[in-house]
Amino acid sequence: MAKKSSASEKNLVIVESPAKAKTIEKFLGKDFLVKSSYGHIRDLAKKDYGVDVANNYKPHYVVSDDKKEVVKELKKLAKDAETVWLASDEDREGEAIAWHLYEELGLTPENTKRIVFHEITKPAILKAVENPRDININLVNAQQARRVLDRLVGFELSPVLWKKVKPSLSAGRVQSVTVRLIVEREREIFAFKPESSYRVTAVFTITNDDGKITEIKAELPKRFKSPEETTSFLESCKGANFSVSDVSKKPLKKSPAAPFTTSTLQQEASRKLGFSVGQTMSVAQKLYEGGKITYMRTDSVNLSDTALKMASEQITSNMGEAYLKIRKYHTKSKGAQEAHEAIRPTDLSKPGVSGSQQEQKLYDLIWKRTIASQMSDAQLEKTTVQIKADGVKEHFVANGEVIKFDGFLKVYLQSSENEGDNDEEEDAGLLPPMKVGDKLSYNVIEARERWSQKPPRYSEASLVKKLEDLGIGRPSTYAPTISTIQNRGYVVKEEREGIKRNYRYIALKDDALVSQEKTEISGAERNKLFPTDIGMVVNDFLMKYFPNIFSYDFTAKVEMEFDEISMGKVVWNESIDEFYQSFHQQVEETLENSERNTGERQLGNDPKTGKPVLVKIGRYGPMAQMGESSDDEEVEKPKFASLQKGQHLETITLEQALRLFDLPRDLGLFEDKKVVVGIGRFGPYVRHDGKFVSLKKGIDDPLEIELDRAIELIKEKRKADKEKHIKSFEEDPEIQVLNGRFGPYISYQKKNYKIPKDTDPKALTLEDCQKLIKEGGKKTGKKAPAKKTAAKKTSAKKTSTKATKKTAAKKATKK
């Protein structure tokens, strides 16, 4: 702590990230102390929007709770320093961070220098230090406009939803458009009518001069609409003499993809490693902190000269000159700000890295992609062979591909863009040498009924790609945005089982036709994003009253406005005023004129009672209602039932809804007590003797389940409960040793305590337990606020800010 020499106090450099600070300190030497601001240090106050609308939109900034310590320390260091170097990123947000630091630390023009660099390399840093400039206030103002706009939109629209749909909901420039994409895709899929056609493939054999027989797969470019058409084609192939009618060859070139940005890394890690976008980011963070890769939140595809030199050394020494091709990539994405390099290994001479499995895999991916990006094109040759026969109207085509020079393919195989839906594009492999006139005979000709593909649902990664294409969101927000829309209950990430579907198979073998009905599973989904009912209702509401804000090009439009501000052509608060005047009016009108939106849908009437049946969003989520509520006490109260998982307001039928009212259902008696099945807050359950047992997800249907199975479940539960209980003590029945999800633990007065790894839980004595409770109690006592966050996962954010507030308050009183 007291290590500070007088020399290090001369220059204070402030960057955004602590890992970056460490690296830069090495480059700058003893005269420079490098510290981090940990991102933004201030933000708009929460109260009254943090924006004085009546006073030219004057922002009211406060130091964030979790940055108070940081600011305190920086303030002190800045006071002692001769020169403070503000070295945050050279983009809108970075410039604003520099400005906030300037304001909050009480710096002066005399003692402050603003420097920027796009890459963390020694020459770049030294060059930056030689070329300081002033804070660019136009760029800062563009950021203030961005910040204020987002606040006004978010904090005016969310309360409209609280009043008109449901409390605690949220709306925003980015998240609501993200939900819109998913909702609209779901409706496209719902409206999609698959059309079937017949795809014909054939296996031919060819005998060469040496008598060697080779198989060739070929396909008919034409697809038939009906089984009749297909059959008559296959009939025409009976006994036909097939021969090669044309052979054409053409060269084909494949080029490597650009080095990784945040978005492309998330997509590739999802496709190749199965990582979620959040997972990718946290693994990348680890690698970054360990100095293994460059910064992982970037929209730039640029590599520094240092990196290019390393790559070229690697490629030439390991693979040879022929494999090297230095390339400069240019970003195509809208609104890219390119404050950093692309994501690459810091040291390209290291093809591997120590660390967790995940870190190794992700690093390997990054290393290969970086190296491949500087390698030569792959040269291929594509051969197309036409196969015809007299009397057969259509011709077959066989494709072959030969790699003449592998180039970048030596290290990196790119995955395809489409999400691998079950359209089995056959890999073009090798073809034997063939020439026009060669005779072929068919082994089998098969026609298989195929269905046109519905539009694919978004995965996390494909959604990020879409957002990037639309210029919505930033590298630092892709992963959090996807979490937000799930936390708000607008979207769920799920697996869905496919449904069985019949298809026709017609084949010609040995001049005989076979026709069969076969079944396949179609439409199965894994880890895809589905809108919830509430997501759909909120989306429809927002689109009805605020179509301008949630149009796909709104962000692009305001970005253009921000650009004007950053060039000094437009005054930021005038620009905001122009937007806000009409926006605020829109909000007022909506509050006054719009109906409460519950997504209500009338399904029809109950055939037994004639009562109307409807579905809507209730206090506890989507529900069905039979009958109407009325003030008249004579009229029977309406019945309610929650929709089941997989049922939706928009698609549920009257029949399905009616069945929901069959619950709770009496199954019969077991051990002289009633067995009842129903659906509760936590899903379908069986109740017996005052105890609840959950039904097995995906196996048991509460509407179908019978007594035998219910008894089975009850017995299973009893067994689990028995195993749960390891030990208790007569002297103090409150102390129990139990078996939980994370292994054995001690339960005492509704709190849980850890058992040391090397102790046998069965051997614990009462004294042992009391000791462990005492020890555990000490620890948790100190960290009481932190424990709260763990208890409430869904409201982690809320409680954590509360917790920090508390600790901050504690510290204040402590002194």
Partner DNA sequence: CAGTGAGCGAGCTTCCGCTTGACTT
The least distance separating DNA from the CB of residue 440, rounded to whole angstroms, comes to 59
Closest CB to DNA among residues 256, 622: 622
Q: Is 447 in the site for DNA (CB under 7 A)?
A: no
Residues 703-762 that bind DNA (CB under 7 A): 740-743, 745, 747, 752-754
**Per rule CB under 7 A, is residue 814 in the interface with DNA?**
no
Q: Is 274 in the site for DNA (CB under 7 A)?
A: no
In whole angstroms, what is the distance from residue 95 CA to residue 88 CA? 7
* Contact residue for DNA among 25, 150, 446, 520 (CB under 7 A): 150
Contact code string over 14-53 relative to DNA, x by CB under 7 A: --xxxxx---------------x-xxx--xx-x-------
- The CA-atom distances, in angstroms, between 435 and each of 81, 169, 219, 220, 402 are 81, 68, 18, 19, 17
- Report the distance separating Cα 261 and Cα 502, nearest Å: 43
510 SS3 class: coil
* Separation CA 371–CA 377 (nearest Å): 13
331 binds DNA (CB under 7 A): no
Instruction: Please identify which residue in the block is written with the tokens 């494909």.
Output: 462
Residue 765 token pair: 């004595």
Check residue 38 and give left, alpha or beta (phi > 0: left; psi -120 to 50: alpha): left
Residue environment code for 391-403, b if the CB has 16+ CB neighbours within 10 A, otherwise e: ebeebbebbbeee
Shortest reach from residue 300's CB to DNA, in Å: 12
Residue closer to DNA by CB (options 151, 369) is 151
To the query of whether residue 295 is one of the catalytic residues in this protein, the response is yes
Nearer to DNA, 345 or 622 (CB): 622
Verify cis geometry, omega within 30 degrees of 0, for the bond prior to 432: no
Interface residue with DNA, options 682, 730, 760, 814 (CB under 7 A) = 682
| Residue 679, beta-bridge partner list | 684
Q: Locate all alpha helices (DSSP H) within 81-136, ordered by sequence.
A: 92-104, 122-130
Q: How many residues bind DNA (CB under 7 A)?
A: 89
The window from 349-357, 385-393, 710-718, 789-797 that contacts DNA (CB under 7 A) reads 789-797
692 counts as binding DNA under rule CB under 7 A: yes
Beta strands in 474-576 (DSSP E): 491-496, 499-509, 512-522, 525-531
Cα gap 527→729, rounded to integer Å: 46
CA distance 508 to 237: 8
Near DNA by CB under 7 A: residue from 136, 170, 267, 370: 170
Number of H helices, E strands in the chain: 21, 30
By CB under 7 A, residue 457 contacts DNA: no
Q: Is 586 in the site for DNA (CB under 7 A)?
A: no
Could you give the CA distance from residue 167 to residue 163 in angstroms, rounded to a whole number? 7
For 424, phi then psi, to 5°, come to: -75, 90
Stretch that binds DNA, among 289-297, 504-512, 537-545, 715-723 (CB under 7 A): 289-297
Is 505 buried (19+), middle (13-18) or exposed (0-12) by CB count in 10 A? middle
Per CB under 7 A, 120 contacts DNA:
no
Does residue 285 interact with DNA by CB under 7 A? yes
| R_g of the chain, CA atoms, integer Å | 33
Q: Which is nearer to DNA, 324 or 738 (CB)?
A: 738
Q: Which stretch binds DNA (CB under 7 A): 229-237, 370-378, 601-609, 613-621?
A: 613-621
Residues numbered 494 to 553 that lie near DNA (CB under 7 A) are none
**Does residue number 118 form part of the binding site for DNA (CB under 7 A)?**
no
Closest approach of DNA to the CB of residue 219, in Å: 46
73-102 residues near DNA, rule: CB under 7 A = 89, 91-93, 97
**Contact set for DNA, span 478-497 (CB under 7 A):** 480-481, 484, 488
Whichever of 257 and 786 has its CB closer to DNA, that residue is: 786
Report the nearest approach of DNA to the CB of residue 147 (Å): 5
Active-site hit among 57, 102, 288, 295: 295
Residue 672 Ramachandran class (φ > 0 left, ψ -120 to 50 alpha, else beta): left
Which residues are marked as active site? 295
